[in-house]
Chain A
Amino acid sequence: MGKVTVISGNEACVEGALAAGVRFFAGYPITPSTPIAEGMSRRLPPIGGKFIQMEDEIASMNCIIGASLAGLKVLGATSGPGFSLKEESFGVAMLMEVPCTVIDVMRVGPSTGMATMPAQGDIMAARWGTHGDHPVIALAPSSVRECFELTVKAVNLAERFRTLVFVLTDAILASLLERVEIPDSVETVNRPRPTVPPAQYKPYQITPDGVPPMADFGAGYHWYASSNMHDERGFLATDQHAVAWTLAQRLRDKILKHKDEVTFYSTEWMDDAEVVVYAFGSTARSARAAVKMARAKGIKAGFVKTQTIWPFPEELVSKIAEKARTIVVPEMNMGQMVEKVREVVCGRAKVVSVARVDGILIPPAEILEAIK
């Protein structure tokens, strides 16, 4: 039996992170993600964990990278402007393969935008924000319960794949209060650690799984964590084309070859659906209501809620396109996700975008219009 409680999405992220084993948080105040930092500052010390408020967003990201290298499970949280500031450092976690989880509470951008208003405008920033090619896992909850569950999943996936994982929430979920059951314990994953003696250890070994074991700094393995292109031992490979190419492909494949482990979605009313609404995050709440209204009117509407934003669930969208006549994509941005849907659908169905950036949750009626 867990504990039933009424909490906000931000608080649920804190609870999820702690349940997953996060024991280090570094952050900088920014609306609307600040309550996550506040929660961590209150919850971590009593259990021996560490919270530190850094001098800026960039420092915060680099600080959790350092703590993760020391062997702790780590979390960062921010919102749009902070996300932009952290972007270079995201690439470090990805290329250096340092497990980190970062929650982005999306608000209206660009720039300062509308600090307290919800948006879903960081979809593409999450995918391509840091320069160069890189893998990415990004999950988006649509309820307080999912804030908890997906934060747990994100921390687990970061450890499982030795990478950076994003949780994209938004300013609605941040302060939305819902009843959730916090389980007494959750399934947790620890990063693979080396089993060989230090002399044989390769921190970037090409394993069948694609994920090399990671030794904690201070554990006697004496390895290099490198943000340059590197070989299996972590040594500089900045002039070795074949080594760089092998590394880039391994980083991509370690995620893409395990897509089933990182793809989460749910479907409703899909058996005979002719019009399918494909939604994520807070918008999925309106979308589901709209589909229900459509069904009441006798329209054969279906609902797909994806929790996995990246890697893009291509197989899922492709399957929808085979049967549906129309796919409606509502999102609080000017049409970011819909581009990807169009690309995968490739003319097999009509793709309709319902997009707005004014800090207002798209009302069900607007989505219903598009369904009709």
Chain B
Amino acid sequence: MAKVAIKKTSEIRAEYYRPNSFPTIWCPGCGIGNVVASMVRAIDTVGLKHDDTVVVTGIGCSGIIYNYLNFDAYHGIHGRAIPVAVGLKLANPRLNVIVPMGDGDSSAIGGNHLIHAARRNIDITAIVVNNSTYGNTGGQFSPLTPTGSITTTSPFGNIENSFDLCELAKGAGATYVARGATYYSRQMIDLIANGIRHKGFSLIEVISQCPVQYGRRNKLPTAVDLLKWQKENTVSVTRAKTMSPEELKGKFIIGELVNIEAPDQEYTARYERLIEKARSGGKS
């Protein structure tokens, strides 16, 4: 591969960010800005055609991601970003459809859509910013909040188990699944870039920090505390292979978890073949 010069932040800003949209609404120390920066770097690295790239978001702190970028963008209702993305992609398979969502958006209210998009293996890139909470509504527990956490709706500690969203996507049929963390920015760019390149449904979960609504209630009041927590509670795919299930308990495995190359099994590719079949009178 030819070596490409790394673009300066100012160049990236001029190319992909909407002028005069700063400062962002996110709280100081929030991890979402970091995810956006990585997402944009990934889009640039892959070299997606700007006009063909659309961003689809839902509701929550992560739902506002589109607002600082200059792509065609959809900002809709809670939990429904994925079906909108499916409609866009199927209607025009040329589009690169990128769907940043929060943990509540993607795993609770929109959980059904996530697993079915994974099952269909439709070529959209879902990026789940997992900050362990519903930040926008003031810090309630989500299906990805660690058990025991104090939140505004679990004042005595969260008694619910949390999803392993990556395992869920894998089980549902996603052909690219990865987990990153804002602590590992460089890796996050690569994971998102590979997800975008992948032909099929991609899920990239990014563990992010919400110091304001989650951290301060859980003895991790600053971004630094939460990033340290990320460092202590994540293990790489390679290291995880050497660890026992006991040792892995409560740890997040980061890196590429699934990467199945089968472009002809992607949904819109299958659909093109369906159209050919239907055009020839139903005979294959």
Contact = CB atoms under 8 A, between A and B. Distances in A.
Interface of A: 24, 26, 45-46, 48, 50, 52, 54-56, 58-72, 74, 88-89, 91-92, 96, 216-228, 235-236
Contact of B91 (A72, A88, A91, A225): A72
B71 A222 contact: yes
Main secondary structure, interface of B, reads helix
A45 B73 contact: no
Contacts of A61: 83
Contact of B83 (A45, A62, A219, A227): A62
A26 B76 contact: no
Interface residues of B, number: 38
B206 interface: no
Contact of B84 (A52, A66, A224): A66
Interface of B: 50-52, 54, 56, 66-67, 70-77, 80, 82-92, 94-95, 112-113, 116, 271, 274-275, 277-279
A268 to B, nearest CB: 43
A66 B86 contact: yes
B17 to A, nearest CB: 12
Given A222-B70, A236-B67, A227 B275 contact: no
Contacts of B66: 224
Given A217-B92, A219-B51, A62 B72 contact: no
B278 A46 contact: yes
Given A55-B116, A222-B71, A62 B278 contact: no
A62 B80 contact: yes
Main secondary structure, interface of A, reads mixed
B274 to A, nearest CB: 6
Contacts of A63: 83-84, 86-87, 90
26 contacts: A24-B91, A26-B83, A48-B279, A59-B83, A62-B77, A62-B80, A63-B83, A63-B84, A63-B86, A63-B90, A66-B84, A66-B85, A66-B86, A66-B88, A66-B89, A68-B91, A69-B88, A70-B87, A217-B54, A218-B52, A218-B54, A218-B95, A220-B51, A222-B70, A224-B74, A228-B75
Contacts of A65: 76, 84, 87
4 shortest A-B CB distances, which residue pairs?
A: A66-B87, A45-B278, A70-B91, A67-B91
Given A66-B83, A66-B86, A92 B71 contact: no
Contacts of B89: 66
Contact of B271 (A26, A50, A64, A219): A50
Contacts of B56: 66
Given A46-B279, A219-B51, A70 B95 contact: yes
Interface centre among B76, B77, B87, B274 (most CB of A within 10 A): B87
Contacts of B80: 58-59, 62, 89, 92
A69 B92 CA distance: 10
Contacts of B113: 55, 59
Contacts of B278: 45-46
